[in-house]
Amino acid sequence: MAFATRSLRHLYKIYNANTATIYSAPRLPIARISVIQTAQRHYYNTETHRPKITGSLTNIQSAGGTVQSLTQVGLDNKKSEEEAKEEAEEKEKREQSQRVLKYSFAFLGVFTTLGLSYIIYDLTKTKYDEHGNVIEDEYAHLPFYERTYKILKREFNYCTKLFQEPSRHKLLPDPVQYPYIQPPYTLVLELTDVLIHPDWTYETGWRFKKRPGVDQFLEAIAPPQFEIVVYTAEQGMTVFPILDILDPNGYIMYRLVRDTTRFVDGHHVKDLNALNRDLSKVIVIDWNPKSTKFHPENTLRIPQWTGNDDDTTLYDLAAFLKTILTTNVEDVREVLNYYRQFDNPLQVFRENQRKLLMQIEEEESKAQQESSKVLTSKWKLSFNRY
């Protein structure tokens, strides 16, 4: 019994020892693995090649760049949507304006057709007098289509004549009679680039510059010396306000504008035959030969003024006109024909005046010398007598 008890105890110890061995053998590697893993973790966390702060900032920055790129993409999408919307609105406006333009042209075409039809009907219809009798013209016995054609042609020629010819046969009234004073010469002046120079800019619009010496020129040749007429192809609504400022004293007696010119070959020509004046006493001052091509013998063509402030042309012109007045020229066309051959006639006139003054001075000096010789000879004779 005791032996059996000891054997059981011995087996129990062996079994416990084996069991501890069995249970401790696998636990030891487990403990070692956990320590190694802990050491490795510590090792990875304490090494110098672990991610630094800069790396983390770079990651943050990259994350921020991603956010920015996403925001930029959103803005671009929004901008493209707005542009597409604006483009659609502009397209709709263009289409609407095209529709309005199309309807306007259609309305204009219908209105023009109806208007022309009514005009043709009114011109070609049979006319009656106050007693109800038919008024016959030279086309009354022609067929309808031929009659219509000739009537329209007549009316067209009449309208063309209104545009091409002066508005009246006498542009100036008849010369005044005694005891009133009629100036001996009629001076016709161009306004543009002779008395004023037009200038246009985006900032100021149209402006008109007065030529140097205009006031002195008009005062020097004022009536009753010359009958001053401004004759230009400009519109009256432009000319009249300018002349009101340019000539406050009223030296310019008459103002003739575009409706008094003759339209020939695309240019407005001054018709001197309609002036109602003797052409032997008419002087035209202009720079454009096309404006006076019907009467070049009456024209003194001076250089076009371009707005320079050192210009003295009007002073020389006043002296030229004064010379004609004082010499009482019978036919001014003879003088003007002589100066018409020069590009700058006033410059030639100044040179001729200078030569004439020198000649007069020489003659006066010779006359003085001869008179002094005569007086000396008389004194000698009287002295010899005594």
CA angle, residues 75, 81, 84, in degrees to nearest 5: 140
Dihedral in degrees, nearest 10, Cα atoms 361, 365, 367, 369? 180
Residues in the chain: 386
Predicted pLDDT of residue 336: 95
The 8-class DSSP code of residue 313 comes to H
SS3 at position 343: coil
Asked if the bond preceding 26 is cis, omega within 30° of 0, the reply is no
Asked if residue 336 lies in contact with residue 298, where contact means CB atoms within 8 angstroms, the answer is: yes
Q: In 20-33, which positions are buried (b, 16+ CB within 10 angstroms) versus exposed (e)?
A: eeeeeeeeeeeeee
What percent of the chain clears pLDDT 70, i.e. is strictly above it? 78
Q: Which pLDDT score, from 0 to 100, does residue 287 have?
A: 95
pLDDT for the residue 23 = 43
| pLDDT at site 369 | 82
- Cα 149 from Cα 127, distance rounded (Å): 17
Q: Which residues, at least 6 apart from 346, have a Cβ–Cβ distance to it below 8 Å?
A: 302, 313, 316, 317, 320
The pLDDT of residue 132: 76
Alpha helices of the chain — where are they, by DSSP H?
2-46, 53-124, 144-164, 214-220, 236-246, 313-327, 332-339, 345-385
What is the C-alpha to C-alpha distance for residues 32 and 24, in angstroms, rounded to an integer?
12
SS3 306: coil
Nearest to 246 by CA among 197, 188, 309: 197
Q: What is the pLDDT of residue 243?
A: 96
Average pLDDT over the chain reads 82
Please tell me the distance from the alpha carbon of residue 117 to that of residue 15, in angstroms, as a whole number. Answer: 137
Closest to 233 in 3D by CA, of 208, 255, 254, 258: 258
Chain CA centroid to CA 331, Å: 43
Burial status of residue 264 (CB atoms within 10 A of its CB: 0-12, 13-18, 19 or more): middle
pLDDT value for 20: 44
* Strand ranges, E, within 202-271: 205-210, 226-231, 254-256, 262-264, 267-269
The three-point CA angle 287-214-204 to 5° equals 80
**247-306 tens-digit pLDDT:** 999 999 999 999 999 999 889 999 999 999 999 999 999 999 999 999 999 999 999 999
| pLDDT on residue 2 | 52
User: Which regions of the chain are under pLDDT 50?
Assistant: 15, 17-33, 35-36, 38-39, 42-49, 53-55, 57, 60, 381, 383, 385-386
